[in-house]
Amino acid sequence: MNDASALLDRLARIVGAANVVVDPDLVAPYLEEPRGLFHGRTIAVARPGSTVEVAAVVSACAAAGVAIVPQGGNTGLVGGQIPDAGGGELLLSLRRLNRIREVDVDADAMIVEAGVTLAEAQAAAEAADRLFPLALASEGTATIGGNLSSNAGGVAVIAYGAARDLTLGVEVVLADGRVANLLSKLRKDNTGYDLKDLFVGAEGTLGIITAASLKLFARPRARATAFVGLADPDHALTLLKMARARFGQQVTGFELMPRIGMAFVLAYDPGARDPLADAHPWYALIEVSAQQEDGLDDALTALLGDALERELIADAALAATLEQREAFWRLRESMSDAQKPQGGSIKHDVSTPVGAVPAFIAEATAAVAAFMPAARVVAFGHLGDGNTHFNVSQPIGADTEAFLGQWSAMNEVVHAVVARHAGSISAEHGIGALKRDLLKRVKDPVAFDLMRAIKAALDPRGLLNPGKVL
């Protein structure tokens, strides 16, 4: 029996033979990420069903010197969950770790396992009359372990923060198979280093998150949602300031979208409808949430009336029903998928200070036009937290492969503008394999050295998700 066969035999004894998958047809879905940019190979897919089994699998791989690539729902967009092309790494799927261990309404916390989908976590909170506010378009497939490993953002960061802000504690399997129980429901705990934050956002390179303690919030009793047409991002920024001055933390969503993105969605989705009578250069999707059930629609209507009087907006529609609210959000959440029929798209998940977003979009758009005049910029995202998805669709009729061959050059163009505005090259998608080489160029060198020192301390043999982040 060769070394690989001996390892697979040992893994089968740990997780059961049915959960060591080697059939190429069954393995294939695990080996390609949603954009098709990364394709990998693996010894096998191991599917443990508990933290004890994860720890045993990691121990077995450590003994054999085999690297591990952890994977949740395989919705990541930077290749962090895909093994390399060598075929010598084990893919560790955490989807079977899918229990809601506890929902504590007094502590406003719940403990869930890594394979629980975001939608399932949201439903568990709602069943207890609470809110877990992390919200993504992929929430039906994305898992909590993946969300935490990439420090996912989403549409509600403006009010509640990203995944790291929503995490009270984690349970994590270390590179040698030991389990660190950092689960906690405490809001105050000053007993030394806050170790959980090492693993949230580390993309599985320091340890494998198997469970997490998450913050819950009071479930809103009312929501008011408006779809607004306006001239430019500067007007949108002023409207955001007005909304925050009027509603404070009750502003739970503020999304910015360009007309070209709307046109893509309307062409892509036969069920989509333009909420406004006329086309506008830019749009804002605003959502306000409150505990009181009455008066929220009137308050948002008053804000929009003031904005109209000041000529900040050209038109607006207020959702009168849940169906209309969902239709508004459908336009925003379809914007990424709607770019696919338009050919190749070079993506930039970047952030700047909120006040710099309009200038960033204008300068980056001009820079792209100078580099590739016929390229089509689709800049949209979470204006309330400064996160812009600055995507560039290929020129009409261009060769897709040749266009995508300009990925690095286009990155240089856009990221130079990001740097001028003291921004980040990765706002919510992570580093993975896609931005690994770029990270060392933009990160403070001392900070980068600290990251490498932490990696060396926790994973000295480099067996956890090698080739990702660092």
Q: Examine the fold and report which residue of 46, 73, 93 is the final residue of a domain before the chain moves on.
A: 93
Whether 174 and 84 share a structural domain: no
Q: Quote the CA–CA distance of 94 and 91 in Å, as a whole number.
A: 10
Tokens representing residue 360 in the block: 């960033």
- Last residue of some domain: 306, 333, 360? 333
Cα 175–chain centre separation: 25
The pairing of strands 208-215 and 167-173 is antiparallel
In a domain, 446, yes or no: no
Number of neighbouring beta carbons within 10 Å of residue 245 = 10
Q: Which residues form the domain of 120?
A: 100-218
CA gap 157, 384 in Å, rounded? 8
User: Do 272 and 248 belong together in one domain?
Assistant: yes
Would you list the DSSP string of 272-293?
---SSSS--SEEEEEEEEESSS
Which of these three, 300, 333, 366, is where a domain ends?
333
CATH number at residue 140: 3.30.465.10
Q: Which two tokens stand for residue 309?
A: 């009087």
CATH number at residue 263: 3.30.70.2190
β-pair partners for 448: none
- Distance between CA atoms of residues 209 and 431, nearest Å: 18
| 370/410 same-domain check | yes
444 in any annotated domain: no
Model pTM? 0.94
Specify whether 228 is located in the same domain as 173. no
Return d(Cα 328, Cα 318) in angstroms, integer: 10
Kindly state whether residues 380 and 323 are assigned to the same domain.
Answer: no
Is residue 112 one of the residues assigned to a domain?
yes
Q: Are residues 267 and 317 in the same domain?
A: yes
Nearest to 359 by CA among 316, 399, 390, 329: 390
Both 242 and 329 in one domain: the answer is: yes
Residue 387 lies in a domain: yes
Asked whether residue 448 is assigned to any structural domain, the reply reads no
228 lies in a domain?
Answer: yes
Domain co-membership, 189 together with 251: no
* Domain assignment present for 450: no
470 residues of the chain, pLDDT tens digit each? 568 899 999 999 999 999 999 999 999 999 999 888 899 999 999 999 999 999 999 999 999 999 999 999 999 989 999 999 999 999 999 999 999 999 999 999 999 999 999 999 999 999 999 999 999 988 999 999 999 999 999 999 999 999 999 999 999 999 999 999 999 999 999 999 999 999 999 999 999 999 999 999 999 999 999 999 999 999 999 999 999 999 999 999 999 999 999 999 999 999 999 999 999 999 999 999 999 889 999 999 999 999 999 999 999 999 999 999 999 999 999 999 999 999 999 999 999 999 999 999 999 999 999 999 999 999 999 999 999 999 999 999 999 999 999 999 999 999 999 999 999 999 999 999 999 999 999 999 999 999 999 999 999 999 999 999 99
Same domain, 325 and 354: no
Query: Tell me, what CATH number does 373's domain have?
Result: 3.30.70.2740
* First-last CA distance in the chain: 35
Q: Quick one: DSSP state of residue 334?
A: T
Q: Are residues 106 and 193 in the same domain?
A: yes
Contact 215, 109 (CB under 8 A): yes
**Number of domains the chain contains:** 4
What is the Cα–Cα distance from 71 to 73, expressed in whole angstroms?
Answer: 7
State the greatest distance between any 2 C-alpha atoms of the chain, in Å, as a whole number. Answer: 79
**131 neighbors 217 (Cβ within 8 angstroms):** yes
Same domain, 208 and 271: no
**Do the Cβ atoms of 411 and 55 come closer than 8 Å?**
no
Q: Is 254 left (phi over 0), alpha (psi -120 to 50) or beta?
A: beta
> Of 341, 346, 351, 361, which is closest to residue 392 (Cα–Cα)?
346
214 with 226, same domain: the answer is no
451, part of any domain: no
Angle made by CA atoms 117, 67, 74, in degrees to the nearest 5: 25
